[in-house]
Chain A
């Protein structure tokens, strides 16, 4: 240190006294050449611009200094001077900073000759240096993250080629509460890189002198978080952080560097404090006497094992002896599960709950409280195979939800269990099979009449289409789809043919025989005439292989017969017949599949054939009947005579016998 100071004093003496006569050099002299934009010089054999913008210099913090204050080697030299000036030594004036820098990671790298190491000018600039409090300075608080980020962002050579223990520093910082305070809210008092790492004395955390060394981190953080001991009550005396850092967790053990989130602490808020009371099985609420006992094991096995008590019971006040005494509101799951909470509020469950309906389920009715498990956990009540039982608690016939319901769906649990979906889920154990929440949604449950409901006719094709996507695509192009038919007539959707809770496989006999009456609910006349034809009669006898509505018209891709894409258009009808009647030709397709002999206008030849045959039948029976009836008295007469004759014979025989 001493030789340096000696040197400094000597240099100053020389400047003020020894070299005084040469102070005639003015900045203007320098700018007479250096204001020329095309002026070049050479450095290390390369041609470089030596243009200096006079205006920018005039605006810089160094405007009042003369050029030679920094470019000291030109002091007293003849002008114009030779090239190859010595590097500017900022330490001449900023000796303290320079000393810190030279001991820092950056400074050591510079002295090692590391080409990536930053010098003063890399951060502060040269002729354009501004005060760090000037918002345009690259070293101003709001810009520091980007200044450091030039080298310390992902992809920069420093981050790639040097050993840096943290990654995504700039991203993480910008998402942290510090970064958001600084960058989003523009709080210049929010910490930037330099606040923790210092500006010039940047050292690795392993260096005991570093501001981020384990021993020092508490001091660094408490620069701002001065009353942190109050919040971190667990540490009885805050100073322990500083004094006995080796036995205590450092700030960064919990609050990861660069990722300091505004949300929750990993295991903060002292769950143990809560459990001190709540692990007692006989703990009861003073107001209504309900048990306040919390089974620690339940919590540990739950989805919220890593969530502390205070994250849900959020109104605790750490500074109270009984932190929970400030709690006045029930747990609001939506504080974390905000989107789901929003859905719930719009749902029928949420609306009823908002009206203080006693029976309306809240989160805990389905998810439980401390035992909450994820829906992927087979032990969870919300696991797919358990959901029907969960909903059945209220929706089984006679239960509290079922008694409120005034619609047409009854015995839904039993019917669902017997349906193809129910069998798939409960019997085959296929967890992907549709159950209650797949159709009704888990949290946005609404009655069918509500246009926002997933099972409202408008939305139903999309709801079923979540699994049956291919069918939905077909249906959306069909005449039954609201996207195609704009007539305003009521159109069928999935459940009108397939039902809601008793869905059967479409290749089951029951479904096949039922479909005609399903179509017939709207297409009444057409269904009736179908039953007049061979196809209809046969299917009425329970034969399923014969043509049913959808065999000819298509099931989901049904279109008007006049549509060229229809299965029954002129182009396609023969092919449709050939599905069953292999040898069918064009004339075969002329068979009237909905013919009736009751319509003389539409089918006169059938009408007259029928009545011709009927006339023949009636005529024959009338003639035959008259003939028979006329015959009857004669025949009876004959019969009586025969009986008499027989009697006579027997009595004659009798007489003869008696005579013997």
Chain B
């Protein structure tokens, strides 16, 4: 069997799975409300146990989402303490999630490569589109989360904010959610899973590891750095048994299907039933 390179910690993988479940729940229950004028929405709301339970699901999933966010921040600070001398080292080092000059070079280089004007850029640990997805979640949780809390506790927020801000919050919450759902279920799905190199899906976020050849090809700078540091062997691991892989595939396919269905439904609602 092909050698595998470990890329994600167990906690990261668990958080991603929880995020999938939470995000799908939020998307399904939220979109039924946003597109309540379509027959789809009424059917779905009914399937989810009526609007009231859909509301509970939505809020419960939101709590999980915020939980994931907090857990990630806490994990990040622990990682910093464990592996980096300072926040600066973490945030400005070669493995940073923050955008830097190289990302801009990579983006331009990539576009050149798309157009056949150059070679593919050599990526490090994180590509620029991975970083974009990562910060999209930061942005989304901040914007959707804060407006969501306003809609959840309007009595509290209107103690110091005008009531019409709830109307504004409704629009922002709903349209930002539409953006998030649309982006994740199209661009993110394509970039990570559906593009022909990875088709039908990239398992790395579930198994936490990727094949050695793929790693060498996709993350050449990271590979070189690890070999140089003589730490590469620490990251090598045996793949999971086929039964685990199959289970993961079933889960992932379910998530993908739900995501695509929602996209189709949104497009249908926007084009044919928009109010």
Q: Which residues of A contact B (CB under 8 A)?
A: 531-534, 536-538, 540-543, 545, 581-585, 587-592, 595, 597, 603, 605-606, 609-610, 613-614, 616-617, 620-621, 624-625, 627-628, 630-636, 638-639, 642
Contact = CB atoms under 8 A, between A and B. Distances in A.
B30 to A, nearest CB: 11
Residue with the greatest number of chain A CB neighbours at <10 A, chosen from B46, B156, B187 = B187
A603 B165 CA distance: 12
Contacts of A542: 42, 45-46, 50-51
A617 B167 contact: no
B179 A616 contact: yes
A603 B197 CA distance: 49
A592 B164 contact: yes
B36 A639 contact: no
B164 A595 contact: yes
A541 B183 contact: no
B33 A532 contact: no
B170 interface: yes
Interface of B: 32-34, 36-37, 41-42, 45-46, 50-52, 54, 111, 113-115, 129, 151, 154-156, 158-164, 166-168, 170-172, 175-176, 178-179, 182-183, 186-187, 190-191, 195-197, 199, 275
Contacts of B156: 583
B36 A538 contact: yes
A630 B114 contact: yes
Given A545-B52, A591-B164, A591-B166, A610 B171 contact: yes
Nearest to B187: A624
Given A610-B171, A613-B172, A628-B191, A635 B37 contact: no
24 contacts: A532-B275, A533-B170, A534-B33, A536-B36, A537-B36, A538-B36, A542-B42, A542-B45, A542-B50, A581-B155, A588-B154, A588-B155, A590-B163, A591-B158, A606-B171, A613-B171, A616-B176, A617-B175, A617-B179, A621-B183, A621-B186, A628-B195, A634-B114, A638-B196
The 3 closest A-B pairs by CB, nearest first: A590-B163, A583-B155, A613-B175
Contacts of B187: 621, 624-625, 627-628
A541 B36 contact: yes
Main SS at interface, chain A: helix
Contacts of B170: 533-534
Residue with the greatest number of chain B CB neighbours at <10 A, chosen from A606, A614, A634 = A634
Contacts of B171: 597, 606, 609-610, 613
Contacts of B129: 627
B168 A606 contact: yes
A347 B129 CA distance: 83
Contacts of B168: 605-606, 609
B187 to A, nearest CB: 4
Given A591-B164, A606-B167, A634-B113, A584 B179 contact: no
Given A543-B50, A587-B161, A628-B191, 11 more contacts: A537-B33, A538-B51, A543-B51, A587-B158, A592-B164, A592-B167, A610-B175, A617-B175, A617-B182, A628-B195, A635-B197
A630 B187 CA distance: 13
A103 B156 CA distance: 105
B178 A617 contact: yes
B179 A590 contact: no
Nearest to A536: B36
A621 B182 contact: yes
Nearest to A587: B158
Contacts of A587: 158-163
Contacts of B158: 584-585, 587-588, 590-591
A590 B178 CA distance: 26
B49 to A, nearest CB: 12
A166 B41 CA distance: 84
Given A538-B51, A588-B158, A597-B171, A620 B179 contact: yes
B33 A538 contact: yes
A119 to B, nearest CB: 96
Nearest to A534: B170
A543 B52 contact: yes
A636 B163 CA distance: 53
B164 A638 contact: no
A585 B203 CA distance: 51
A628 B36 contact: no
A523 B54 CA distance: 30
A545 B51 CA distance: 10
A625 B182 CA distance: 11
A581 B46 contact: no
B154 A591 contact: yes
A263 B177 CA distance: 87
B197 A589 contact: no
Contacts of B196: 632, 635-636, 638-639
Nearest to A528: B275
A541 B155 contact: no
A613 B166 CA distance: 16
A531 B154 CA distance: 19
A528 to B, nearest CB: 8
B172 A531 contact: no
A642 B198 CA distance: 11
Contacts of B162: 587, 590
Nearest to A616: B179
Nearest to B189: A628
Contact of B42 (A531, A534, A541, A635): A541
A540 B37 contact: yes
Nearest to A543: B51
Contacts of A533: 167, 170
